[in-house]
Chains A and B, each alone.
Chain A
Amino acid sequence: MSLILIIIPLVVSVFVLLARPNGVRSIALAATLANLAVSAFACVGFSGDGSFNHLVDLPWVAGAGIHFRLGMDGISLLMVLLTNLLAPLIVLSSYGRAMENESRYYGLVLMMLGALNGVFLALDGLVFYVFYELALIPIYFICAIWGGQDRIRITLKFFIYTFIGSLFMLVSLLYVYLQTPGEHSFAWEALMRVQLTPEAANWVMLGFFLAFAVKMPVFPFHTWQPDTYTASPTGGTMLLAGIMLKMGVYGVIRWMVPLASEAMHFWTPVFIVLAVTGIVYASIIAVKQSDLKRLIAYSSIAHVGLIAAGVLAWNKAGVQGSLIQMLNHGINVIGLFFVVDLIERRLGTRTLADMGGIAKAAPVFAALFMIVMLGSVAVPLTNGFPGEFLLLNGVWNYNVWLGGVAGLTIIFGAVYMLRAYGLAVFGEANEETARFADVDTREWIVLGVIAALVLVLGFFPGIVLNLTDGSVTRILGTVQL
């Protein structure tokens, strides 16, 4: 099962890239839907006690202790569901865009999907690393080929940033690998059992952190993010914000903390302070942004800052909150970027000052946008709330003052999102917005599915939290600080 999730997108990707068939969009959509079906099927009979389901173990470079090992506990399952739930929406939302070399674009998207699934399933350090890097390549090309203004410079910056970060991780991984007793092994369990000296643990953790902090991104490693999100084509931005940044958070939970838990006492205060600083910092910058896409990019830094802080607090509320929030942030941010794309295609601008009064001409769009926006502001009974509540509680349990500062996000979040929504949708219509066409069927489906998820997961967060409960309990029990 685990293997299928990786093979379907990669094989279809190769086929699409080489054969360049007609109707490539539908092929891509079919492949993502197939993957969604497989991941849904993976839930059947799933054991949620924190053990690994659907194990795959193939010798790869067996002599060096490298095995192609995959498996799913509740945490991986959630990440896989997130990835494969969002993928069809991302493909579908790219439909409206006329582009050159469609087959290349969708081929890259599928390759990305395969790599992401690999990242979330890998139980071998090197396999994890390979997929982690493999995911970077297609997104680099997506942004560099179909991006907006100044894309070459921006994507290069993004590439160098993340690539250097990953190298530090590789060093850390290799170091731990070399400490494994007897025949060295990259297996997750073996790496986790290694007892590091405090000093070594500090360096190992720092290496991991640099990689993951860049990916999420955590302040002050975020400066590639606003430019890259803004310059990328919408599909690319969705992949980056919806799924790819979660690789970083997942990496912290699965790899960084378990492998170098000895260093938690030393580093956690530093990391959490950075993460919480990022929440306030990015929120304040978002308040006066004039470009809607850039505004959402900054809001994403704020949101992921809270997610990171919750994970690092390393308690039940914080980790559970981060997991459910990864899913829900993914859903909401894809919705928001889709909204930006929809507006940009109609008005030819992303500048808030050029919008206004859309509600009049496009009431359905305004209502769906409202629902997604409320999810992002974390109004109770939308999907954004349970995660934000648990994350803040987790950070607060770690340190009350940090919890209070992180709590400012509920105020600032309302400030910048309501401002953006008000400027875009309310007010008097201008000549352009008066002719704003309401959503068409395809757009209705994408936004409708997202809005439905916002409400269903808002009323029933237990569905998601129960998936991961056992695994989180186990990992918190195994790795105690």
Chain B
Amino acid sequence: MDAFLPLIPFLPLIGFAINGLFGARLSKTAVGIIGSGVLLVSFLLSVACFNQVAASGAIQHTMYNFFTIDSMRVDFGFLVDQLSVWMMLIVTGVGFLIHVYSIGYMHDDEGFWKFFAYLNLFIFSMLLLVMGDNLLMLFFGWEGVGLCSYLLIGFWYTNKEYGKAARKAFIMNRIGDLGLLLGIFLIFKTFGSLNFTDIFSRLPEMRLDPAAVTLICLLLFVGAMGKSAQLPLYTWLPDAMAGPTPVSALIHAATMVTAGVYLVARCNPLYSLSPDALHVVAFVGMVTSIFAAIIGLRQNDIKKVLAYSTVSQLGLMFIGLGMGAYASAMFHVTTHAFFKALLFLAAGSIIHGMGGEQDIRNMGGLRKAMPVTFWVFLIGTFAISGFPLLSGFFSKDEILALTYAHGGVWWWGFAGFGALLTVIYMSRLLYVTFFGEFRGTEEQKHHLHESPAVMTVPLVILAILSVLGGLLNTPHFMHLGTPQWLASWFGPVIPAADMHLPESTEWSLMTFTTSLALVIIAGLYFVYTRRGNLPVADEAQTGLTRVVANKFYVDEIYDFLFVKPVEIGSRLLHYADTLFVDGIVTGVAKGVERLGAQFRKLQNGNIEYYLIGMVAGAVLLLLSLFV
């Protein structure tokens, strides 16, 4: 297996190269088969890896030495352990489904081949990120996925707004990356290595200054905030919806944005040494989770609602991490990958059927025309809302229970509040889109159709995963068989979180949140299927609603605080540079020039004359060597 390991990331890179170089001359079928095919092979190889890891533990493989600077030895190497192989399965598995879906979704786009090339490049980067055996490899993938995100958000490049969104994503990510980079420097200084295995094996015998550990953790977390769209670096993610919908599903929901969660989970031995850092993580997660959910309540673009939902769900994962429940956060990463990919792809199916329409106020009653999309969207909504026995129910409940156990009732209350807001905006989305009367134009009504099988089959598979995904890690107290399988799978990398609650407490917590969720789902049905309660037009919004609908004006505030000052500073400095800094020097030069004017009479202005004189001088100098 070891020898095949590099194939897992490099096959998608080869796919990128083939489609990127020759895609324009290939048929769309060929492009689609190459793009998805490499991923299928990668997925199968990942499954093989999984079996090997299950049988004989982690695999380490070094391809070559990237560079060595004294003791800083960085290899292009892979570490496939329980944690990374799990991420590989998600990335290649969900990635494959989304590639297949894209064959249908992007079929009429002239950039079809380019789309698949970029998507493959993304998978390559994401695999480097999770498979790297050292922090620099992780950083390669980390920045690589940011680049692909930039390329794909700005995929329809003629639109200037999309270009801006793409740039915003890249630059915000880079702000986070600077934090990560400084964290990497500090780690190397502290541990003398960038290799995960070295760092974590040296950790126990080192007597570290707690402040240093906290600083390392916080710097890494700055990176995570950028990549996983946490406050204050979240504003790029909603704008990232400018990209084609499969991109939103794959990159901006299922995989890339969970990289921050992966990073913290990967570095859990460090975080566990710093309660302060964990508190910060949990706090940022909680604020983000609630803040984004509130904004989500008042969005009317179907993809924007899902985007804020993603930000909010990521916040929930960080709450879990902050409580030390790393495995539970990874569990939620997994189920979220299923149901959020499902929701986005279903949204894509709707947009496809509606001829590009994204405003839910112009939809309504779609369940008749798009039955498959409706059912899978319903499953996705229920899964994310925590409907009993669906995947989100288990993963969300586990985080909430551990939050109660480790943080107490207040933390639990706030985290639960964020989770219930999710139920509200998701139900609203479901009902307004699929129930009631159709509100679009006649032309849209005529155009409305269910998507082809190449799109619906991946949807159905994801729907099945969204239903059953929770069984990976059922709680002990429910006696559903294979209890806590995923947590024990992660065991060698992530120590189990301590759940010290009596079963009765767990039951009552769960019953409480679940019944509230059910009441909301049921109640909102009656609210949003009536015409009078539909979301109003933008102009008609007043007061607080308007503030929320405008996302608390955070973009405007950032613009005022950061973008404008830099732009003004740029103009001012440019002016100062030419006027003052240069002026002094030019003044001196002017004096010399006047002096030069006196000598000018000696010169005849024939350049030939100077040149030959000069060359002759040079030649003479050289000749003098041999005399």
Residues of A with Cβ closer than 8 Å to B?
7, 10, 13-14, 17-18, 58, 60, 68, 104, 107-108, 111, 130, 134, 137, 141, 145, 156-157, 160-161, 220, 223-224, 226, 281, 284-289, 316-317, 320, 357, 359-360, 363, 367, 374, 379-381, 386, 389-390, 392-393, 396-397, 400, 403-404, 407-408, 410-411, 414-415, 418-419, 422, 425-429, 460-462, 465, 469
> How far in angstroms is the closest Cβ of chain A from B396?
35
19 contacts between A and B (CB under 8 A): A17-B612, A18-B612, A58-B626, A68-B625, A134-B618, A157-B586, A224-B585, A281-B577, A285-B574, A288-B574, A316-B70, A363-B24, A381-B140, A392-B181, A392-B185, A393-B188, A414-B171, A462-B65, A465-B67
User: Is B577 in contact with A223, judged by CB distance below 8 angstroms?
Assistant: yes
Partner pick for A461 among B67, B585, B611, CB 8 A cutoff: B67
User: Is B618 in contact with A10, judged by CB distance below 8 angstroms?
Assistant: yes
> How far in angstroms is the closest Cβ of chain A from B9?
12
0/1 string, B356-380, CB within 8 A of A gives 1: 0000000000000000000000000
Q: Which residues of B contact A425 (CB under 8 A)?
A: 157
User: Is B174 in contact with A411, judged by CB distance below 8 angstroms?
Assistant: yes
- With A134-B618, A422-B163 known as contacts, the answer to whether A320 contacts B69 (CB < 8 A) is yes
> How far in angstroms is the closest Cβ of chain B from A326?
16
User: Is B182 in contact with A287, judged by CB distance below 8 angstroms?
Assistant: no
User: Is B182 in contact with A428, judged by CB distance below 8 angstroms?
Assistant: no
Stretch at the interface among B287-295, B310-318, B411-419, B563-571: B563-571
CB under 8 Å from chain A, chain B span 57-93: 64-70, 72
User: Is B585 in contact with A404, judged by CB distance below 8 angstroms?
Assistant: no
CB under 8 Å from chain A, chain B span 579-627: 581-582, 585-586, 588-589, 592-593, 607, 610-612, 614-615, 618-619, 621-622, 624-626
User: Is B167 in contact with A418, judged by CB distance below 8 angstroms?
Assistant: yes
User: Is B585 in contact with A157, judged by CB distance below 8 angstroms?
Assistant: yes
Q: How far is the CA of A461 from the CA of B266 in the complex (A)?
A: 27
- With A14-B615, A223-B577 known as contacts, the answer to whether A414 contacts B182 (CB < 8 A) is no
User: Is A284 in contact with B569, judged by CB distance below 8 angstroms?
Assistant: yes
> How far in angstroms is the closest Cβ of chain A from B31?
15
Q: Which residues of A contact B72 (CB under 8 A)?
A: 317, 393
- With A288-B570, A427-B160, A428-B158 known as contacts, the answer to whether A14 contacts B140 (CB < 8 A) is no
Residues of B with Cβ closer than 8 Å to A?
20, 24, 64-70, 72, 136, 139-140, 143-144, 147, 150, 154, 157-158, 160, 163, 166-167, 170-171, 174-175, 177-178, 181-182, 185, 188-189, 566-567, 569-571, 573-574, 577-578, 581-582, 585-586, 588-589, 592-593, 607, 610-612, 614-615, 618-619, 621-622, 624-626
User: Is A58 in contact with B69, judged by CB distance below 8 angstroms?
Assistant: no
> How far in angstroms is the closest Cβ of chain A from B219?
10
User: Is A410 in contact with B174, judged by CB distance below 8 angstroms?
Assistant: yes
17 further A-B contacts with Cβ under 8 Å, apart from A380-B143, A418-B167, are: A13-B615, A156-B593, A157-B585, A223-B585, A288-B570, A359-B157, A379-B144, A381-B144, A404-B182, A411-B171, A411-B175, A418-B150, A418-B171, A422-B154, A460-B64, A461-B66, A461-B67
User: Is B170 in contact with A418, judged by CB distance below 8 angstroms?
Assistant: yes
- With A137-B614, A284-B570, A410-B178 known as contacts, the answer to whether A426 contacts B585 (CB < 8 A) is no
Q: How far is the CA of A379 from the CA of B72 in the complex (A)?
A: 20
Q: Which residues of B contact A465 (CB under 8 A)?
A: 67-69
> How far in angstroms is the closest Cβ of chain A from B416?
37
Q: Which residue of A lies closest to B611 (CB)?
A: A17
Q: Which residues of A contact B577 (CB under 8 A)?
A: 223, 226, 281, 285
Q: How far is the CA of A400 from the CA of B188 in the complex (A)?
A: 13
Q: Which residue of A lies closest to B619 (CB)?
A: A14
User: Is B625 in contact with A60, judged by CB distance below 8 angstroms?
Assistant: yes
> How far in angstroms is the closest Cβ of chain B from A200?
26
- With A379-B144, A404-B182, A426-B154 known as contacts, the answer to whether A287 contacts B570 (CB < 8 A) is yes
Q: Chain B binding site: helix, strand, loop or mixed by DSSP?
A: helix
Q: Which residues of A contact B574 (CB under 8 A)?
A: 285, 288-289
> How far in angstroms is the closest Cβ of chain A from B69?
5
Partner pick for B144 among A161, A317, A380, A429, CB 8 A cutoff: A380
Q: Which residue of B lies closest to A221 (CB)?
A: B585
Q: Which residues of B contact A220 (CB under 8 A)?
A: 581
> How far in angstroms is the closest Cβ of chain B from A440?
18
> How far in angstroms is the closest Cβ of chain A from B53?
26
Q: Which residues of B contact A374 (CB under 8 A)?
A: 147
User: Is A157 in contact with B69, judged by CB distance below 8 angstroms?
Assistant: no
Q: Which residues of A contact B144 (CB under 8 A)?
A: 379-381
Q: How far is the CA of A316 from the CA of B73 in the complex (A)?
A: 13
- With A141-B607, A289-B574, A407-B181 known as contacts, the answer to whether A111 contacts B615 (CB < 8 A) is yes
Top 7 nearest A-B pairs (CB, nearest first) are A223-B582, A288-B570, A380-B140, A426-B157, A287-B570, A422-B163, A462-B67
User: Is A160 in contact with B589, judged by CB distance below 8 angstroms?
Assistant: yes
> How far in angstroms is the closest Cβ of chain A from B218?
14
> How far in angstroms is the closest Cβ of chain A from B319?
28
Q: Which residue of B lies closest to A390 (CB)?
A: B69
User: Is B171 in contact with A316, judged by CB distance below 8 angstroms?
Assistant: no
Q: How far is the CA of A387 from the CA of B618 in the complex (A)?
A: 36
Q: How far is the CA of A403 from the CA of B188 in the complex (A)?
A: 15
- With A13-B615, A317-B69, A462-B66 known as contacts, the answer to whether A426 contacts B163 (CB < 8 A) is yes
Q: Which residues of A contact B178 (CB under 8 A)?
A: 404, 407-408, 410-411
Q: Which residues of B contact A407 (CB under 8 A)?
A: 178, 181-182
User: Is A141 in contact with B611, judged by CB distance below 8 angstroms?
Assistant: yes
User: Is A288 in contact with B615, judged by CB distance below 8 angstroms?
Assistant: no
Q: How far is the CA of A478 from the CA of B20 in the complex (A)?
A: 49
Q: Which residues of A contact B588 (CB under 8 A)?
A: 160
Q: How far is the CA of A156 from the CA of B20 in the complex (A)?
A: 47
Q: How far is the CA of A141 from the CA of B20 in the complex (A)?
A: 43
Q: How far is the CA of A173 from the CA of B176 in the complex (A)?
A: 46
Q: How far is the CA of A296 from the CA of B70 in the complex (A)?
A: 34
User: Is A414 in contact with B612, judged by CB distance below 8 angstroms?
Assistant: no
Q: Which residues of A contact B567 (CB under 8 A)?
A: 287-288
Q: Which residue of B lies closest to A476 (CB)?
A: B70
Q: How far is the CA of A288 from the CA of B575 in the complex (A)?
A: 12
Partner pick for A288 among B20, B24, B160, B571, CB 8 A cutoff: B571
Q: How far is the CA of A414 from the CA of B178 in the complex (A)?
A: 12
User: Is A403 in contact with B182, judged by CB distance below 8 angstroms?
Assistant: yes
Q: How far is the CA of A1 from the CA of B571 in the complex (A)?
A: 50
* Residue among A13, A18, A156, A462 with most chain B CB within 10 A: A462
User: Is A281 in contact with B573, judged by CB distance below 8 angstroms?
Assistant: yes
Q: How far is the CA of A172 from the CA of B66 in the complex (A)?
A: 40
Partner pick for B158 among A104, A108, A427, CB 8 A cutoff: A427
Partner pick for A316 among B69, B166, B611, CB 8 A cutoff: B69
Q: Which residues of A contact B585 (CB under 8 A)?
A: 157, 161, 223-224
Q: Which residues of A contact B140 (CB under 8 A)?
A: 380-381
Partner pick for A60 among B20, B24, B160, B624, CB 8 A cutoff: B624
Q: Which residues of A contact B582 (CB under 8 A)?
A: 223
User: Is B181 in contact with A410, judged by CB distance below 8 angstroms?
Assistant: yes
Q: How far is the CA of A382 from the CA of B144 in the complex (A)?
A: 10
> How far in angstroms is the closest Cβ of chain B from A360?
7
Q: Which residues of A contact B177 (CB under 8 A)?
A: 410
Q: How far is the CA of A223 from the CA of B578 in the complex (A)?
A: 7
Q: Which residues of B contact A284 (CB under 8 A)?
A: 566, 569-570, 573
Q: Which residue of A lies closest to B571 (CB)?
A: A288
Partner pick for B163 among A130, A389, A414, A427, CB 8 A cutoff: A427
Q: How far is the CA of A380 from the CA of B569 in the complex (A)?
A: 29
Q: Which residues of B contact A429 (CB under 8 A)?
A: 158
* Residue among A10, A281, A393 with most chain B CB within 10 A: A393
- With A284-B566, A381-B140 known as contacts, the answer to whether A223 contacts B175 (CB < 8 A) is no
> How far in angstroms is the closest Cβ of chain B from A100?
12
> How far in angstroms is the closest Cβ of chain A from B616?
9
Q: Which residue of A lies closest to B141 (CB)?
A: A380
Q: How far is the CA of A103 from the CA of B179 in the complex (A)?
A: 53
User: Is B174 in contact with A160, judged by CB distance below 8 angstroms?
Assistant: no
Partner pick for A223 among B158, B171, B581, CB 8 A cutoff: B581
Q: Which residue of B lies closest to A419 (CB)?
A: B167
